[in-house]
Chain A
């Protein structure tokens, strides 16, 4: 390193501790990030729910109307209404326990 370089770099060191009075609240940023994460998760869950519902309803409609299994809609409804509470309630409870 030549002398000019050395002197120049030494001069550059003068701004090493240069500072501005900046206020950044890290706790607030963490809270904001938590909110964003929750919103994203809710959105994802909603899309998943809508997608799977649409898929099930379409499948039942297709089988009932086009594939000739007219009674399927009735069977599906009976099956769903009988079993849904037994499946959904424990699943929701398990999800809540896992989250907490």
Chain B
């Protein structure tokens, strides 16, 4: 069944359609939130809250944009709300294990992952969201502006600042050659 039809069914109250919609879009929300937080527990809380809010407000959703865009908007709002409540975030590289590599190489990759994730996490959340949505998910500037409720020009400048920061941090940490 296509997305529009699923949305229409879900709006009518079909639990199966809603379940399918959320399951199909779960991965994208999960990936986005994991990159935003770098924290498994916080990610889980945000994803659950996002899905719950989506279920409660499905009747308000207008299919002008993709369903995933709407979910990401909700997830961003939930993350912003949670940031106001609690701050500490710890980064755990629990999934960077690779048994095929030797211990030294695995350690090298693991620490590089950690460094890269650390660079991302240190970017202010509004800029981070722009970078993640543009770089990893290929959203258009207009779509990002809509998700973050800001002008397109702001999105462009945030992305520019973000890339500048990433390049300078990569250089400082010796991840790229100067």
Binding site for B on A (CB under 8 A): 4-5, 7-9, 11-12, 14-24, 26-27, 29-30, 32-34, 36-37
Contacts and interface: CB of A to CB of B under 8 A. Distances in A.
Interface residues of B, number: 37
Nearest to B136: A16
A11 B116 contact: yes
Contacts, number: 95
Nearest to B18: A30
Given A15-B113, A15-B117, A30-B55, A22 B40 contact: yes
Contacts of B51: 24, 26, 29
A33 B52 contact: yes
Given A11-B116, A15-B120, A29 B40 contact: no
Contacts of B175: 8, 11
B56 A8 contact: no
A8 B166 contact: yes
B40 A21 contact: yes
Per DSSP, chain B at the interface is: helix
Interface stretch (B41-49, B77-85, B140-148): B41-49
Given A7-B176, A30-B18, A30-B55, A19 B171 contact: no
Interface stretch (B22-30, B60-68, B150-158): B22-30
Q: Please classify the interface of chain A as helix (H, G, I), strand (E, B), loop, or mixed, using the class held by over half of its residues.
A: helix
A20 B15 contact: no
16 contacts: A4-B167, A4-B170, A8-B170, A11-B116, A12-B120, A17-B31, A18-B95, A18-B96, A18-B117, A22-B43, A22-B44, A24-B48, A24-B51, A26-B22, A29-B51, A29-B55
B113 A19 contact: no
A18 B112 CA distance: 13
Nearest to A28: B48
A9 B18 contact: no
B4 interface: no
Contacts of B52: 29, 32-33, 36
A27 B96 CA distance: 29
A24 B47 contact: yes
A11 B176 contact: yes
Contacts of B43: 20, 22
Nearest to B53: A33
Contact of A8 (B55, B94, B117, B176): B176
